[in-house]
């Protein structure tokens, strides 16, 4: 086996070896070349200015108007007048139906005669003779009693008073009570309305008729 050999450089008294000196010189040379190249490159650069030709053209003198012209007014066009056309309604001629019959209605009279005023009238089937009082018949009393009768709008006798006595109070009282409770009337009418009215009537007591 071969063993590596090592050369031992002797150290000089000044401490700088020849190898170190060569290295420093090489580095110095490289720096010098770089500086030279930099200086020489900047010296050869030439800046050329490109010449531009500028041509001037005269401009015509145009005087701007001081005031602007007024805008033109639009022309108004009148609308055409529309004419309305009137179409007459169609005339429909309807022939009368030969089978139709005409009906004539008599006009109702507008002016009717005012109603006639009437007096109270007695209902005959109610105007009966009162029963004869027993005491008056036993005593033989008889006679006629005239009464003033007040008839209401409903036809009822509202009141009866003696106008002419029979001469016997029991006969007068019997006549008043019977007429007031049993007699009926058709009321008097004025202007078409039933009203209260008065009338007279006579009640006769006859012994001969009472004995039959």
Q: Where are the domains of the chain?
A: 121-211
HSE toward the beta carbon, residue 8, CA cutoff 13 A: 1
* pLDDT tens figures, 27-82: 888 888 878 777 666 544 445 555 556 666 666 655 555 566 666 776 766 666 66
Q: Tell me, what's the pLDDT at 78?
A: 67
Whether the CB-CB separation of 185 and 157 falls below 8 Å is answered with yes
* pLDDT tens figures, 162-195: 999 999 999 999 999 999 999 999 999 999 999 9
DSSP for residue 102: -
Whether the CB-CB separation of 11 and 17 falls below 8 Å is answered with yes
Q: Tell me, what's the pLDDT at 72?
A: 72
Instruction: Report residue 69: phi and psi, to 5°.
Output: -65, 150
Q: Tell me, what's the pLDDT at 165?
A: 96
> Among 203, 65, 211, 62, which Cα is nearest to 143's?
203
With 0.75 as the threshold, say if the pTM is over it: no
CATH architecture of 121-211: 2-Layer Sandwich (3.30)
């Amino acid at each position: 086996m071969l063993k590596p050999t090592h050369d031992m450089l002797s150290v000089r008294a000044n401490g700088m070896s020849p190898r170190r000196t060569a290295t420093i010189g090489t580095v110095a040379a490289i720096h010098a070349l770089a500086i030279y190249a930099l200086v020489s490159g900047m010296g050869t650069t030439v800046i050329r200015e490109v010449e531009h030709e500028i041509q001037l053209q005269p401009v015509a003198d145009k005087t701007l108007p001081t005031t602007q012209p007024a805008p033109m007014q639009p022309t108004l066009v009148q609308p055409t007048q529309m004419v309305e056309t009137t179409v007459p309604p169609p005339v429909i001629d309807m022939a009368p139906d030969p089978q139709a019959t005409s009906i004539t209605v008599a006009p109702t009279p507008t002016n009717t005669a005012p109603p006639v005023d009437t007096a109270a009238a007695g209902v005959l089937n109610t105007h009966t003779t009162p029963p004869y009082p027993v005491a008056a018949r036993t005593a033989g009393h008889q006679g006629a009693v005239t009464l003033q009768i007040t008839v209401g709008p409903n036809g009822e006798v509202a009141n009866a008073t003696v106008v002419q006595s029979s001469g016997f109070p029991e006969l007068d009282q019997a006549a008043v009570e019977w007429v007031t409770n049993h007699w009926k009337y058709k009321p008097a009418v004025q202007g078409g309305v039933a009203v209260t009215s008065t009338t007279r009537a006579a009640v006769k007591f006859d012994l001969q008729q009472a004995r039959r």
